[in-house]
Amino acid sequence: MILVDTNVLVYAINLDAPQHEASRAFLEAIRSKKLEGVLVIQVLLEFFAIITDQKRAAQPLTPESAWQQIDALRSFMPVLGSGDNLIDVLQEIAGSRKGPDIFDSYLAAQMKALGISVLCTYNKKDFTGYENVIVKSPDEFLETAES
């Protein structure tokens, strides 16, 4: 099971992004069941925030179009909940990290709570130092899926 990070989703719909082709191919591998991808609500909220913000997206989507994109993703990837003890797991994982790092820590905490050890992202360095988190880019997954 692979948790798909926000940036992969954003690049998949951004035709101008250099990562577009690999991100689209990665999502297609999930859609066709060659890979097993999952989402969490945090990732979908971040995705919505980015693709509807004119400061962060060259061509922002309307909220209605953004929800359609989210519905399309949910049609082939389950959205998993994280459980009641998540704040305790977050405290344990976050340790002395501060500021915006808390959001990456929260994603790592959700992974731990859900028993997921693999994350697909382009921000690999953001997840170094988290115990039992394996981080790969879409390109790395596609190499394995095609062989």
pLDDT digit string (tens) for 43-99?
999 999 999 999 998 899 999 999 999 999 999 999 998 777 778 888 888 877 778
Residue 102: pLDDT band with limits 50, 70, 90: confident
Which domain, by its residues, includes 18? 2-146
**How many domains is the chain built from?**
1
Q: What is the distance between the alpha carbons of residues 19 and 14, in angstroms, rounded to a whole number?
A: 9
pTM over 0.85: yes
CATH code for the domain of 23: 3.40.50.1010
Q: Residue range 96-119: average pLDDT? A: 88
Q: In whole angstroms, what separates CA 126 from the centre of its chain?
A: 13
